[in-house]
Structure 1
Amino acid sequence: MTRNVTRYSRQDVLRILQISPRQLHGWERAGLIPVLETYGFPEMSQLRTLRELQVLRMSPASIRNSVQAMQAVSGISNPLQESAVVRTGARLAFRHSGTMFDPIRRQLLFDFESTARPHTVTVSMLPPARTAGTRERELQNLFLQAVQAEEQGRKQVAMGCYNSILALDPAYTAALINLGTLHYHQKQYSRAEELYRQATEADASYVLAFFDLGNVLDELQRPDESIDAYKRAIKLAPAYADAHYNLALAYERKGERRRALAHWQVYVRLDKGGPWADHARGQIRKLLSREKISIAHRSPDFCRQPHKTCSRLELVPTVRVPA
């Protein structure tokens, strides 16, 4: 009997995985994911891995180089799906068949299976095991059930699984983030904020937790706190382009032109193509043009008080980049 396999549209993928069309196009251009109209569970898992690698400041070119090297030396057709991915410095290593291998250097690596290992971050669909005990396996099974339910559109089932995880381990950051995002999309912003804050407290180095916290604080119209959260994300990952984008928008809403300009400029250095880069360049042109006009019309009194502005900059609100 043929089993029906759930497929997801491009819009479903963007919504479920919290990625932008720009990110998806970038991975397609780099050859890291095929251009598809619908996606299955393997492709969804691969996209989750790519999203985490981007937050860890791995460029598409660097990921592609490691993937191609692994394909050449191992014969594995899709290393991002068929093996676990480990960041080692600026490259990727792959855990496959009980060994860990750096394909660019063609070296076997010691595999300590420890999240405390310095300068190495394990990236996979599930959080790495902290212990080998029954409780940890139960948490991972629940997390897998939650992810599958979420991708099948069974949100209440997914939320139930995430809540069960948090009842066992209140500091399980991946569950906190995913549950917070489900509440976020249901416009339950206060609950989403609570969960994102718990994630930042559980892991102060979790970049996505601060980024998502910034998004929900923006929805709650608390711009100063939102800006602080985006700045924390950028401090942890200075090349996190989407955080610079959203921070620039937040500064624009407050009328802080020069601060917005600085982050637009960083953004276009990090993202050189696509509609978001085009928008950022447009904002840079507008801000520079208005700044020149402002300088030309300053009075002597204004020049003696550079911290004041002659008028408030009004800009059309723009939808920020999703998490």
Structure 2
Amino acid sequence: MGRQHVSHDEIAAFAQDKVNLPKDKADEYRAQARRLREKLDGYLDEHPDFTLKKMLLSGSLAKGTALRSLNDIDVACYVSGADAPDDVQALLNYLAERLRKAFPNFSPDQVQPQTYSVTVSFRGTGLDVDVVPILYNGDPQWYGNLVSQDDGSFLKTSIPLHLDFAAKRRRAQEKHFAQVVRLVKFWARRMKQERDGFRFKSFMIEMILAKICDDGLDFSDYPEALQHFFTYIARTNFRQRIVFSDYYPIASVGTFSDTVQIIDPVNATNNVAHLYTTKNADAIVEAALEAGDAIDAALAAPTKQLTVGYWQKVFGSSFQA
């Protein structure tokens, strides 16, 4: 009944109009990051001993999951670990100093250390690039120690492998995997705005959807894919461990005592949800139950007005069909 009023096509149109970063903007931002990387590459060719080794676009823009609300770009910067400081603040100052040397046409205030990254501000577009340092010692798979955005600790990671992990799921469900990620991120962003203390990291959303994708769900029907996401959280009470075998055997994952366990697909010792308390998890389950109930009601609603009203419980008043 309700599906005749709001179906996959209406959700896809809403995503295009209200959720997704427009293609021209995405292209502009990627080009900006590419120019930054190319400038560094040129500098490295002339200064082969320079401690900055590689810049890689990372985050949602690199993975094709950026929302229309995107206001900064994430770039990973590999720093040769030999003489780089291992204190976070000293490392950020060290990185900022070397970025200023690599980009002498930038004024000093355009390159500023933050808590866990260095922000490079472009005056033309007004967009910020957050450069996150990774201490690197020559690993062929580009493993290194990243400054964690969670708590500032050093965390073993590989940006190329993370991007490869996401790309595999995008290839498995062309267009649809990334689109469903964006729709769920849009919902989570609204929950954060409306519910005090609500937290749900985008990377965790991606990992849950990667798990559902790997389990064989066809994402090409967006109402059904969204319902499966919310049902998975409700059914597991957000307490079921999620782990992948792309880059290490599942048997190598140790025991964790954390409430929520979503294991980093490139680092078997890192639970990306380790800071989530029972209260945080319960809040996500409650929100997922409400969203799932709203979708159920929307799919059964007898009128278009009722159907749209139920979808607005998921996506807010900007949803129109």
TM-score, L = length of structure 1: 0.27
Structure possessing the higher relative contact order (Cα contacts under 8 Å, 6 or more residues apart): 2
Structure with the largest fraction of strand: 2
